[in-house]
Each structure stands twice: as C-alpha cells, then as structure tokens.
Amino acid sequence: MAAPVKVYGPPLSTAVSRVLACLHEKDVEFQLVPVNMAQGEHKKPDYLKIQPFGQVPAFQDESITIFESRAICRYICDKYADKGNKNLYSTNPLVKASIEQWLEAESQSYNPPSSALVFQLAFAPLMNIKQDEELIKLNDQKLLKVLDIYDQRLESSRFLAGDEFTLADLSHLPNTHYLVSVGNRGEAFSSRKNVGRWWNEISSRDSWKKVVEMQKSK
Amino acid sequence: MVMKVYGAIASTATRRVFATLYEKDLEFEFVPVDLRAGEHKQGHFLARNPFGQVPAFEDGDLNLFESRAITKYVAYAYADKGTPLICEGKPMATVGVWMEVEAHQFDTLASKLQWELVYKPMFGMAKDAAVVEENEPKLAKVLDVYEARLSQSKYLGCDCFTLADLHHLPTLTNLMGTPLKKMFDARPKVSAWVANIMARPAWAKVLAMTNQQ
C-alpha cells in the first residue's frame, strides 16, 4: 500500500482546508504535516523548497510535490479518479467543462471579496491588526453581487456545475465557513433562497464536517 | 458548426482564448461585444455570462465563460490539433500548478498594474501612484520565483509551451509596453521566456486582430 499523501499546513488555513475537504471526499488517506506559521516556518528555506511563494498548502505524494490548493485538488481527483466521490471532478468532458467554469468563477469572482472579508473579519482581530472598514464595505458589496448571480444560477441547478456536488462547490467551503460563523455574514447566504439551500447542503457534507472538526482541534 | 468567441479584441481575457484557438489552428467566429455601449451588462449577454464579463464561448451545444475554463476545454477537446498546450501524465500536475500561479500570483498584481499604467491613460483617467508603488515590489517578488523556476525548466509548467505560459501573454504584453518592462528585462531567464512566448506566431495573429478592426 502506498504511503499516505502529505499535506503541509494548518487546517485553519482556508487553502489548506480546501485540500483536506477534497481528500475526505475522495477517501484518500493523508498525513497532515504542521507548518508553524506563527514562527515564520513557511518563509524559511526548507519550506520554500516545496512552496516557493511561502504559502500553505504544499502537497506530496510518492511521485510529486505540488502547491496551489485548486491545482492540488485537481491532481487528487485525477490521480485517485476511482476512489471516493467520482462525480467531484467528472471525467465526462462536457460536465468537466462546466465544473471548470464554476471553479474559475470561484477563483476569480468569489475568492477575492470573500478572502478579503475572511481576513478582515476572522483573522485580523486575532493578529491584533486593525480592521479596514472601507475594505470591508467594498468587499461586502462585491460579495453580495456575486451571491445574487449564484442565487440566479442555483434557481435552475442544484449545485453550481449541475446536478452533482463537484469541486466547484467544494472550493467555496473554506471561505464561506468563516464568513457565516466568525464573520457574521450568515444572513447574506440565508436571505437568498437558493444560495441558502445550497450552502446548507454543501456544508452538511460529512467531508466538510470532518474538516471543521480538524480546525477545532488544531 | 463553427466555434464562437463573444468578446472584445482589446480584452486580455478574450485574447487568452484567441491565442489558444490560433495555437491549435482552429476555425472560429469572433462576435464582438460592445463594451463601451455596455453590451456586456445587457440581458442577451448576461445569458451567456451572468457575471457580465467577456469572453463567452460556444462550441455546438456547449456554452462556457471564464477564459481559463474555455482555454482548458479547447486544449483537451482538440488535443490532437495544433500545439498540444497540455501534457500527458505526471507533468500535467506541475502545469496545473503554474496555471494557478498565473491566475493567483501573477494576474492579480499584473491586472492592477495594467489598469493603472495602460487602461486608465487610455480612458483619460489619472493614475493612482500608490497602487503602482504597492504592487510593483510584489510583482518583483513573484518574478524572482519565476526566475528560479525558469532556471530549472524551459517553460513554466514543463519543458514545452503550455497553457501555463500562454495564459500570461495578454497581460504580460500590456506590461511590456510600460516602464515595468525593466522588471522583466532585469531577470535573464524571465526575459528570455518573455521574448520566446511573445514571438510565437499564434500570438502575432492575436495582435494582428487589432489592426483589422
């Protein structure tokens, strides 16, 4: 049996948790390797060898070392295509095209405002950094516009890419979790009928519950 | 039925798709979207891209938006035509990494800089020097990583030209027309890579589209 794959970084990191959620969905055994970010371990030469931008996560299996959470997720789905949730990153080209479209939408339209808000609302207070009210206001507005588009899409589609839960939905879990819990932005999601339904469904998945447990315990 | 690209010739995202189609020698129909008239925010276009952005794409019954999803679709669906742009097997994992690097590390900064240095002047708007001052050093750090990477690999993803390199072309070309060119010139491996990918015939065809307007 192959050694478990390695994920470097703390589960509290949104990007790390994106990979953890994917590993749980695909039933792929993994080992979490701690990276002491408070001590700047991620900026030290040993770590920079595996992630030259000094960010988490990084990933290793017996054949390769890679980084960038969405690239890691795609790799896991490609390599372990026959394991766990097979619909996560469908091998059907037309379905895959739709998944890629919504994965890019997450990456380009959802991630920027939601990441900015997660930092301001969830992490800045913990780091004794003063919140930037202007930035919060600006990104709240951007987020709501994106959620309006999602609500329209999810009116006619159970999940973003179609009828099945895919990587495109999964990719939203980490930031959204912080927004609705610590970030007090739950109403933005629950007040939109389809977005509310979608968020409840994807955040109730066993894979995500496991990640949230990991976040609580580390 | 021929593939359609809905977009604008000057749009970097639309150019990403044009570059891919030219690399693969694929026939397509360009359907201009009048950005100045706000056509991209009107109902008939929103039906193609609910985010109201160009490009949108059509191949038979398949409709797509997001340039990087479109280029990927084309590269895989027409894998046997023209330049491969992707790899078989294990190397594709690393190509995938550098495609994400372009999207998250390079383009976020490069887009802000091109807005200040290329587009704002075009629209007669004043440049925000603070934005340039903030993002230029960040881009420098990213290019340092690129320099190290390109010392180990001929192209970003692997030893051949792939989408990981191609996706940079539109924004890169814009920045090379600004004083920021010096940042790319200052790093030998990066400079050689830039010269190499910008010299590709398919990219010349994309730039020639501007002259045909």
Asked whether residue B90 carries a pLDDT value surpassing 90, the answer given is no
Q: How far apart are CA A121 and CA A195, in angstroms?
A: 21
Which residues are registered as beta bridge partners of A64?
A61
**Whole-angstrom Cα distance, residue A208 to residue A200?**
11
Partners of A49 on chain B (C-beta within 8 Å) are none
The pTM (predicted TM-score) of the whole model is: 0.97
Q: Tell me how far apart the alpha carbons of residues A189 and A204 are, in angstroms, rounded to a whole number.
A: 15
- pLDDT band at residue A218 using 50, 70 and 90 as cut-offs: low
Confidence of residue A183 (pLDDT cuts 50, 70, 90): very high
ipTM of the complex: 0.96
Chain position carrying tokens 């593939």:
B3
What is residue A3's predicted lDDT score, i.e. its pLDDT?
86
Q: Judge whether residue A217 has pLDDT over 90.
A: no
Q: Please state, in angstroms and rounded to a whole number, the distance separating the CA atoms of residues A11 and A20.
A: 8
Given a cut of 90, whether residue A2 has pLDDT beyond it is no
- List Cβ neighbours of A182 (8 Å cut-off, separation of 6 or more): A121, A122
* pLDDT score at B210: 87
pLDDT, residue B132, reads 97
Please say whether the beta carbons of B20 and B8 come within 8 A: no
- For the ranges A5-19, A148-162, B81-95, B156-170, the lowest mean pLDDT is seen at B81-95
Choose the mutation target among B51, B53, B66 for the interface with A, i.e. most A CBs under 10 Å: B66
What percent of chain B is modeled with pLDDT above 90? 95
Residue B213 confidence (pLDDT) above 70: no
How far apart, in Å, are the Cα atoms of A97 and each of A157, A194, A199, B105, B139? 16, 23, 22, 23, 31
**A160 pLDDT above the threshold of 80:** yes
Task: Give A-chain residues touching B93 at CB under 8 angstroms.
Answer: 64, 66, 71, 75, 78
Neighbouring CB atoms inside 10 A of A113's CB total 22
The CA distance from B165 to B198, in Å, is 10
Q: What are phi and psi of B164, to 5 degrees?
A: -60, -35
Question: Tens digits of per-residue pLDDT, B68-79?
Answer: 999 999 999 999
Q: Give the minimum alpha-carbon distance from B212 to chain A in angstroms, rounded to a whole number.
A: 30
